[in-house]
Structure 1
């Protein structure tokens, strides 16, 4: 354990002792645990208290760190497992799996085992209707990108397109997706070649206003799932 992680863990333990002295268990998760912390990284804490009926989160600073604390019981966190699995974005499973134990309790072992099992199993397979919906909305946004001539509008469309296309690639391929920094990171984990193609293509647009690499790549991704989709799509009918 390096000095950065050791200091973070020491500060996290102090938070648990002073702010949550009656908790049953606690974990330190996030970028410090993964060795990816930056100057602005916060301490992500999961605090277990079996007496709480509803989960909640708190944000505060301590010992120079910004802190995000997620307070759960073993029941409420399992509900978050379910929600994250359904949306294909395993934020809480990842935090529980990787979390360093700050205060131990018998409830942790089965929760860690469940979180790891769900991570390894992957998300639910998209239904045909869900895949078609994703294909339609990516087609629609890609057409907006192709047609836009105003640079300012193009930047906004491209930002949305980067997120939507990455999510499309991951979910239609049966993989977990992510949010923020975990979106591209999730693609890089399962397909580093396509992740680099994606970043290179969007770099060409953002830096040089060149669209073709983005268009060509996303059309390939659409083709792999049946191609562009517009004619015949219906929702809410």
Structure 2
């Protein structure tokens, strides 16, 4: 059996499962043209009959579907919480989403999502930058001193998370997780993203830490470089 196209499947799903909803949008990789054989359909539903939000995973019309069901109040709450954590998942789904229903609220929530995406995440305070420098320094020192290959691999993983966060947040850009780490870096600076991937690939292939060390040292220089001596938390 040939399954319907993503848009056809999404419209059938909404018609069957949410016939009285005000709005629904299809987002995710299939909309961006980046789908893989394991991609699912990400659907945002706005239903003012709901008192609270929920998320559900299911199979419909041959497609795995992730549905994010909200009313306007809970959607805006998630807009704000995603902005505060600097990972605008729901904003991106709404911004890029293809409408599956016709309702004026779609235009207004798209405007809200697009504005938040343009504005970027909240700016880090000086104290937050100082704390993040310390944790990045601590992880780098662990990697430099590590003589255990298994431990070094997972220290490097941690550095990748910390470094991408530091680069993006100090430049008021959104961060990511998993595959979105590289995508977020590429959106910010394709050349830096390339250097980032190359440094970690060099370590994983050849067990040579120096490319990671050089990359990490190049990032916080304008904020004071590595930080250990004098750092404290909670001292009165």
TM-score range, shorter chain: over 0.9
Q: Whole-Å Cα distance in 1 between the matches of residues 208 and 59 of structure 2? A: 43
* Match of residue 223 from structure 2: 225
CA shift at 1:232, angstroms? 2.1
Taking the TM superposition and a 5 Å limit, the aligned residue runs for 1:140-219 are 140-219=138-217
* Match of residue 39 from structure 2: 41
Q: Whole-Å Cα distance in 1 between the matches of residues 194 and 18 of structure 2? A: 43
Q: Which runs of 5+ in 2 are unaligned?
A: none
* TM-score, normalised with respect to structure 1: 0.95
* Match of residue 60 from structure 1: 58
* Match of residue 124 from structure 1: 122
| 2:30 match: secondary structure | helix
Q: Whole-Å Cα distance in 2 between the matches of residues 135 and 56 of structure 1? A: 37
Alpha-carbon displacement from aligned partner over 1:17-39 (angstroms, at most 9, x marks no partner): 11112211100000000000001
Q: CA RMSD in A?
A: 1.3
Q: Which runs of 5+ in 1 are unaligned?
A: none
CA shift at 1:236, angstroms? 3.6
CA contact (8 A) 1:74 1:107 kept: no
CA shift at 1:49, angstroms? 0.4
* Match of residue 131 from structure 2: 133
Q: Whole-Å Cα distance in 2 between the matches of residues 72 and 95 of structure 1? A: 13
TM superposition outliers: structure 1 runs of 4+ over 3 Å = none
Q: Whole-Å Cα distance in 2 between the matches of residues 129 and 104 of structure 1? A: 47
Match of 1:111 among 109, 112, 115: 109
Alpha-carbon displacement from aligned partner over 1:36-83 (angstroms, at most 9, x marks no partner): 000111100001101212111000111222110000011111111111
Q: Whole-Å Cα distance in 1 between the matches of residues 181 and 230 of structure 2? A: 30
* Match of residue 96 from structure 1: 94
| 2:100 match: secondary structure | strand
CA contact (8 A) 1:172 1:225 kept: no
| 1:163 match: secondary structure | helix
Q: 1:22 and 2:9 equivalent? A: no
Question: Number of aligned pairs?
Answer: 233
